[in-house]
Amino acid sequence: MLPAMDTRVRPDGLLDFEHKRQPLLHRRAYVRRIINAIGLSALLLALWTVIGMVGYHLLANLSWLDSFLNAAMIVGGMGPVDALSTPAAKLFAGFYAIFSGVIFLSIFGLLVAPVFHRFLHKFHLESDGEQKHHKKPE
């Protein structure tokens, strides 16, 4: 026998989604969840761009503006603008590019998760409702 499930829908954090046995989250709370995901994604993107700027500035001796340009182009998937001359700068640029792909996928996941969860949750609630209406008498 399963323990009784708390049916209150009150997720406390960005990544706390309601359980399949709980009702669908209210539209206002869902919009707040989307806004929180956008905010967290923007913060992660800004932080990652600043890390790139600092790396390019310190290791490649680029100006802050050129560092921003190179970091933004890597994060955006376009590639570096300036030629790098030192081994440390080249290693940094390579690892920064690799991890930028991971950051991109993470941000995509953060943005899609609330929408995908709501879709699956709604689908699950509808399929449970159909199963309850079509139960065979015992």
> Domain ranges in the chain?
27-131
Across the range 49-73, mean pLDDT stands at 96
Tens-place pLDDT, residues 9-46: 455 565 676 666 676 777 887 788 888 889 999 999 99
| The CATH number of domain 27-131 is 1.10.287 | yes
Tens-place pLDDT, residues 67-126: 999 999 999 988 889 999 999 999 999 999 999 999 999 999 988 988 887 788 767 666
pLDDT at 21: 67
Q: Is the pLDDT of residue 131 over 60?
A: no
pLDDT at 133: 47
Under 8 Å between Cβ of 39 and 114: no
| Strand (E) or helix (H) holding 124 | helix 87-133
- Alpha-carbon gap, residue 53 to 59, rounded angstroms: 10
List the one residue out of 42, 14, 52 whose CA is nearest residue 30.
14
Three-class secondary structure of residue 14 per DSSP? coil
Reported confidence tier of residue 53, pLDDT bands at 50, 70, 90: very high
Instruction: Give 10's DSSP letter.
Output: -
Task: Find tokens 């790139």 and name the residue.
Answer: 52
Largest CA distance in the chain: 78
Lookup: tokens for 136: 């065979």
List the one residue out of 56, 105, 106 whose CA is nearest residue 82.
56
Q: What is the pTM of this model?
A: 0.72
pLDDT at 29: 79
Amino acid (1-letter code) at residue 91: L
List the one residue out of 14, 54, 55 whose CA is nearest residue 36.
14
